[in-house]
Amino acid sequence: MDVLALSRLQFTATSLFHFIFVPLTLGLSILVAFMETRYVMTNVETYLRMTKFWGKLFLINFALGVVTGITMEFQFGMNWAEYSRYVGDIFGAPLAIEATVAFFLESVFIGVWVFGWKKISKKLHAVSIWIVALATNLSALWILIANGWMQKPVGFVLRNGRAEMVDFMALITNPYGLIKFSHTVTSGYLVAAFFVMGISAWHLLRQNQLEFFKRSFRMAATFAVGSSLLVLMTGDFHAVEIAKTQPTKFAAMESIWETQRGVGFNVFLLPDEKGECNAIERLCIPNMVSLLAFHTPDAEIKGLKDFSSDLRPPVLPTFLSFRLMVGMGTFMIFASLVGMILSRWGTLEKQRLFLRVMVLAIPVPYLAALLGWIVAEVGRQPWIVYGVLKVSDAVSRSISVSQVVGSLVGFTLLYGFLGVIDIFLLVKYARKGPDEDLSTMINPAGRGA
């Protein structure tokens, strides 16, 4: 393998591993904030215990997410120096704002929340976790604005062999980035909702603290229903934007080879290069792709053969990832609705088969989110900045294969170690359940605050 292939492998591994922690942080921060708000409003101690239990799991996940995010950024200077040189003036701006505003805001107030129990008023303490939730989502906004520019570059000119920003407002109002942000954060909310529902279901199967985990499940199920519908809606907006701005990616998502009108949706099969959708008629929904892409049943969809072979993304991984993501999203909508209905009827703890399904479903939104990123990044190939800079032109020219192998092995070992720690701690405290003693709050140093 050459430097380019190894650098791509390293960035893929580190970014996918980092993204394991990001969506749970996005959603669980909001759920914990809502739990504490309920405690402040009602003074019901169950909500305080919920805040502390789920907050403990949030802190474990948050800490690992910070560590993996910081090391990932080093690669822009190490492995992708040509990319940084070419577009650094534009790409660096939102990342700098994210670090100096959102990251420091959440870092400061996570400290206030962890160490502020009984030291500030209940209302101010609740406000601090809401600020953490806001800052966490604001951090995602700036990062996804940067990624959105890579997907749809706007507000720049090519000058002196580099891309230079000429319109900062175009960058931050880029429709692609804003839609991508909406779709990504709502999928994060879904990850957190299924995380809470799955752990609650595990305890309900064992008849552990029924009132506590029934309330947790009901709150998460309601959150999941809203989040899943938002994921569906923003996903539709995103598909329309992709069809308009990245026709090669859209054609790969649907495996469309020939330019045609009224394109049908092939539910399972991968069409051949003729673009046939009638191999098995009952698996094809007529005109559906055209309708989803342009909201017109006879809209024209450009096929992959309209583009030179070196500008086509890998079709099979893009197509399969998209199909699996949609299938998992459909499952989560129905599972959320069933969970909300059962929890409101008061019969949840009796539905043992459903509870077992929800325990097994904890990884589903994680996998769906990762598949979404595969569609986004693999489907953009061969471009690192769509239509402007290819991946092959962005890699560092002064590093050797041995250097990349060394850093790849180092990152793999480090991330593997951190992953084992994270899973061990989450499983340990999730199985243990909430503390009975309300006078303590476990903090990262292991002392009561």
State how far the Cα of 360 lies from the Cα of 355, in Å rounded to an integer.
9
The residue that leads in pLDDT, 419 or 50, is 50
Q: How crowded is the C-beta side of 422, counted as CA atoms within 13 Å? A: 22
250 φ, ψ (degrees, to nearest 5):
-65, -40
Percent of the chain beyond pLDDT 90?
15
pLDDT digits (tens, 9 = 90+) for 87-125: 888 888 888 888 788 878 888 888 888 888 888 888 888
Residue-level pLDDT at 15: 78
Residue-level pLDDT at 267: 65
Quickly tell me which residue has 């101010």 as its tokens.
124
Range from 29-38, 116-125, 267-276, 433-442 carrying the lowest mean pLDDT: 267-276
Task: Indicate whether 22 pLDDT > 80.
Answer: yes
Among 54, 83, 97, CA closest to 163? 83
In this prediction, residues 428-436 reach a mean pLDDT of 81
Residue-level pLDDT at 420: 83
In this prediction, residues 295-307 reach a mean pLDDT of 84
Helix/strand number for the chain, H first, E second? 15, 8
Any idea where the domains of the chain sit in the sequence?
A: 21-240+318-398
Among 271, 275, 262, 249, CA closest to 301? 262
Structure tokens at 286: 């007529």
What angle is formed at CA 341 by the lines to CA 340 and CA 342, rounded to 5 degrees?
95
74 φ, ψ (degrees, to nearest 5):
-60, -25
pLDDT digits (tens, 9 = 90+) for 44-83: 888 888 888 988 899 888 877 776 777 777 777 777 888 8
State how far the Cα of 60 lies from the Cα of 62, in Å rounded to an integer.
6
Percent of the chain beyond pLDDT 70?
92
Among 379, 381, 397, CA closest to 389? 381
Task: Indicate whether 445 pLDDT > 80.
Answer: no
Query: Counting beta carbons within 10 angstroms of the beta carbon of residue 45, is it exposed (0 to 12), middle (13 to 18) or buried (19 or more)?
Result: exposed
Find out whether 185 and 135 touch, Cβ atoms under 8 Å: no
Max distance between CA atoms of the chain, in angstroms, equals: 69
Determine how β-strand 156-159 pairs with β-strand 265-266.
Answer: unpaired
Structure tokens at 199: 């752990």
In this prediction, residues 147-161 reach a mean pLDDT of 87
State how far the Cα of 228 lies from the Cα of 429, in Å rounded to an integer.
27
